[in-house]
Amino acid sequence: MAAAHGGQIDTVMHEERRFAPPAEFAQQARIKSLDEYQALWDQAAADPPKFWADLAKEELHWFQPFNEALVWKEPFAQWFVGGKTNVSYNCLDRNLAAGLGDRTAILWEGEPGDTRKLTYAELHQEVCKFANVLKQLGIQTGDRVSIYMPMVPELAIAMLACARIGAIHSVIFAGFSAEAIAERNRDAAAKLQITADFGWRRGKALALKDTVDEALAKSPTVEKCIVFQRGTGKASGTGSGANVPQAKMQPGRDFWWHELMKEASAECPATPLDSETPLYILYTSGSTGKPKGIKHTTAGYNLYVKKTFQWVFDHREDDIFWCTADIGWVTGHSYVVYGPLSAGATVLMYEGAPNYPDEARFWQLIEKYKVTIFYTAPTAIRAFIKWGDQHVKKHDLSSLRLLGTVGEGINPEAWMWYHRTVGQERCPIVDTWWQTETGGIMMSPLPGAIATKPGSCTKPLPGIIPAIVDPDGEPVGTHQGGWLIMTHPWPGMLRGIWGDDGRFKEVYWTRVPGKYLAGDNARCDDDGYYWIMGRIDDVLNVSGHRLSTIEIESALVSHPDVAEAAAVGRPDDLKGEAVAVFVTLKRGVPNDAMREELKKHVRHEIGALAQPDDIRFTNALPKTRSGKIMRRLLRDIAAGKETSGDTTTLEDFTVLAKLRHNEE
C-alpha cells in the first residue's frame, strides 16, 4: 500500500455515516431495494455466462445470433461466440428503429460558448458519412486509427464511424505530447491519424495539429491525416477568434474533415462483425515505462457499458446525463459515448475547463441544460470546494437527481460537501470503482437500492464477483486489507494488451493464478461494503489520472544532464497525489533554472499531466544493498514525514540524511 494513501485510509476506516436511498428515488428506480439487488446479484452469481447471455439477447442487435456465451481459455475470454453485431449499429440504428430519431443524442457546448445539438438521426447521418470517408481513404476492418482531438462531437463521430466498419480506434488524450502520440502510434501501427487544427482550453487555442505534425514525423505507419476545423466559436461566445493557430496542411497526407465530408454519401450500412472484433485500444500506464494498450472488443464491451450505465445511473428517458470526463480517458469512452448512446440517452458534452471564464461554469451548464445526472471526479470536487460555495449557490441546480464520482477514492469530507452543496441532500451519490481494464463500472451503489457510506464504493454489480486475498491467494478476513481480485470473467473485461500477451498474463493473471488482479488494495466491512485503499504497485493517481513512476523516471533520464531519477507520489489536497522526483545530475547546476528545464522536458516527453510538482536534487539515491531504490523512504521524505521502518539495508546513510535536510 502506498504511503501516500495513508491519510485517506485512516479517515475512511472510521466512517460510520450511512445514507439510505431517498424513498421517492427508490420508488421510481429500476432496482428498488436491497432485496431486489441481492436477488439479481445471486441469480447472476449462480451462472454468470447464462446471466450475461440472456441480457445480450435482449440488449444488443444480432445480425447473427451467438451460440456460446463464454469460451474461457484462461486468461483469454471470448464472449458471445459465433455472433455478429456492431457497436455503431447498437448506438444509432437500433435507436432509430425504436423511434428515437428525433431524440437529442448530444448537447454540446464549446469553451467559448458556441453550442450544437445532434439528434440520433443527425448523429447517424454524420457517422455514416464519416465511415464512408474512412473507407475512401482505404481504411478497412482491423486497421488502427489514431484520434487526437478536443472534446467536440466529431470525436464521438470518428469513434462511431470506426466502429461502424470495424476499424480499431486508439484515442489519445489531447494533453499528451508529440512523443507520447508517436509512441502509441508506433505500438498500434496506426494507419490513419484524425485530429483538429486546435481546441480551446482555459481561453487558449491549443495547436493540436502542430503537435500531431511533430508526432507524425516519428510515426512511420501513419499514411494520412484528417483535420477537423474547430472554428473560433466567436459567433456565439466569448472567444476572441483572433490569432488562432493555422494548421499547416501537407499535400497528399493531410485532408480537411469538412472537405471530405462534402462528397461523402450518407448511406453506409453497419458491417456485421464477429463479437470479438477489437473495438478499441486505449493506452494506460502500468508499472513499467511503456504504456499498455488495453484492448476491448465488440459485443461484450457494448453489453457491459450499456447495462452498467442503466443500472448505476438509473437511466430514464428524460434524463440529461453529463459525464465531465474527457473522451481521451476510459470514462469518456464508456460513459460519454458507448454506454449512454447504446441506451438511447441524451448526453451533454463540454469542451473546456471548469473554471473558464470563471469558477461557476459547471454550475451554469447544469442550470442551462437542466442536467439530471452529473458524473465527475474527486479531484474536481476538491477544486470546487477550494473555489468556494458561492459559485455553486449562484445557480439553480434543482434539475439534478443523481451524482456520481470516479477515478480515485473520495475523501469522506469531500463526499459530504458534494452531498450537501451540490446534491442539496436530495441526490444519491454513486462512487463508482472501475478501471480502463474492466471496461465499465464494477462496484458502485445502485442508487435506489444500496445505502451509501461516504468513501465506500459499496457493492459489486450483478455478475461481478470480487474477493480480497493475501499474497498467497487466500481470502482475508473482514476488515483486513488485501489485494482486490475478480474471481470470474465478465463481458467488459480487457481482452489483452495490444501486441503483448506475455505482459497481459504477467500483470493480471500470475500473482494470483487464474484470477484477475486489479492492482488495488481493498478491505471489506461487516456489511460487505468495499473500501478501496490505493494501488499495490508504483502507479500514481494524479488528479484521477494514472501515471507510471517509471515512465516519469525514464523521461527524466532521457535528459542529457540527468544521471538518475526516482519519482514517487506525495499526498496533495487538490490532486490526490502530486509527483515528487529526486534527481542526480551528471552535469549542470542543481538550481531553479534546472528545475524548470526538467519540468519542461517531462512535459515534452509525456505531457503536462506528468510534470513533476517537486524536484529535489541529490548526490545519490537511497538504495538497498541489492541496488533497489528505496521508494518507501523517498515517499516519506516527499511527504515531509519522519522516515519510518527498517533502513538497515540502506547503502549509504548519508544520502538519507542529506535528502531529509533537502541539501543539494
Question: According to the binding rule CB under 6 A, does residue 435 interact with ligand WTA?
Answer: yes
How many residues in the shown chain lie near ligand WTA by CB under 6 A?
22
Question: According to the binding rule CB under 6 A, does residue 408 interact with ligand WTA?
Answer: yes
Question: According to the binding rule CB under 6 A, does residue 432 interact with ligand WTA?
Answer: yes
Question: According to the binding rule CB under 6 A, does residue 132 interact with ligand WTA?
Answer: no
DSSP 458: B
Least distance (Å) from ligand WTA to the CB of residue 484?
Answer: 8
Question: According to the binding rule CB under 6 A, does residue 519 interact with ligand WTA?
Answer: yes
- Closer of 457 and 615 to ligand WTA (Cβ): 457
E strand or H helix at 84, and its extent?
A: strand 84-85
- Closer of 167 and 507 to ligand WTA (Cβ): 507
Question: According to the binding rule CB under 6 A, does residue 319 interact with ligand WTA?
Answer: no
Instruction: Point out which residues pair with 70 in neighbouring strands.
Output: 79
621 three-class SS: coil
Least distance (Å) from ligand WTA to the CB of residue 316?
Answer: 24
Mask 273-302, x = binds ligand WTA (CB under 6 A)?
A: -----------x------------------
Return the range that interacts with ligand WTA (CB under 6 A); candidates 22-30, 248-256, 517-525, 577-585.
517-525
Mask 443-482, x = binds ligand WTA (CB under 6 A)?
A: --------------x-------------------------
Beta strands in 270-412 (DSSP E): 273-274, 278-284, 292-297, 320-323, 346-350, 373-376, 402-406
d(C-alpha 550, C-alpha 290), whole Å: 9
Question: According to the binding rule CB under 6 A, does residue 577 interact with ligand WTA?
Answer: no
Amino acid type, 193: Q
Beta carbons of 299 and 275 less than 8 angstroms apart: yes
Beta carbons of 111 and 353 less than 8 angstroms apart: yes
Burial of 317 (0-12, 13-18, 19+ CB in 10 A): exposed
Question: According to the binding rule CB under 6 A, does residue 433 interact with ligand WTA?
Answer: yes
Calculate the alpha carbon distances from 12 to 153, 215, 399, 454, 572 in Å: 39, 44, 30, 8, 17
Q: Which of 532, 598, 633, 638 binds ligand WTA (CB under 6 A)?
A: 532
- Closer of 9 and 580 to ligand WTA (Cβ): 9
Question: According to the binding rule CB under 6 A, does residue 576 interact with ligand WTA?
Answer: no
Q: Which of 132, 146, 219, 331 binds ligand WTA (CB under 6 A)?
A: 331
Task: Give residues with Cβ within 8 angstroms of 185, minimum separation 6.
Answer: 146, 170, 193, 215, 216, 219, 221, 222
- Closer of 314 and 408 to ligand WTA (Cβ): 408
- Nearest alpha-carbon partner for 467 in 455, 454, 480: 480
> Cell triple for residue 264?
461523402
Least distance (Å) from ligand WTA to the CB of residue 439?
Answer: 10
Beta strands in 197-267 (DSSP E): 199-201, 204-206, 224-228, 254-256
Return the range that interacts with ligand WTA (CB under 6 A); candidates 186-194, 201-209, 429-437, 497-505.
429-437
Question: According to the binding rule CB under 6 A, does residue 330 interact with ligand WTA?
Answer: yes
Which residues contribute to the site for ligand WTA (CB under 6 A)?
284, 329-331, 406-409, 431-436, 457, 518-520, 532, 535, 541, 546
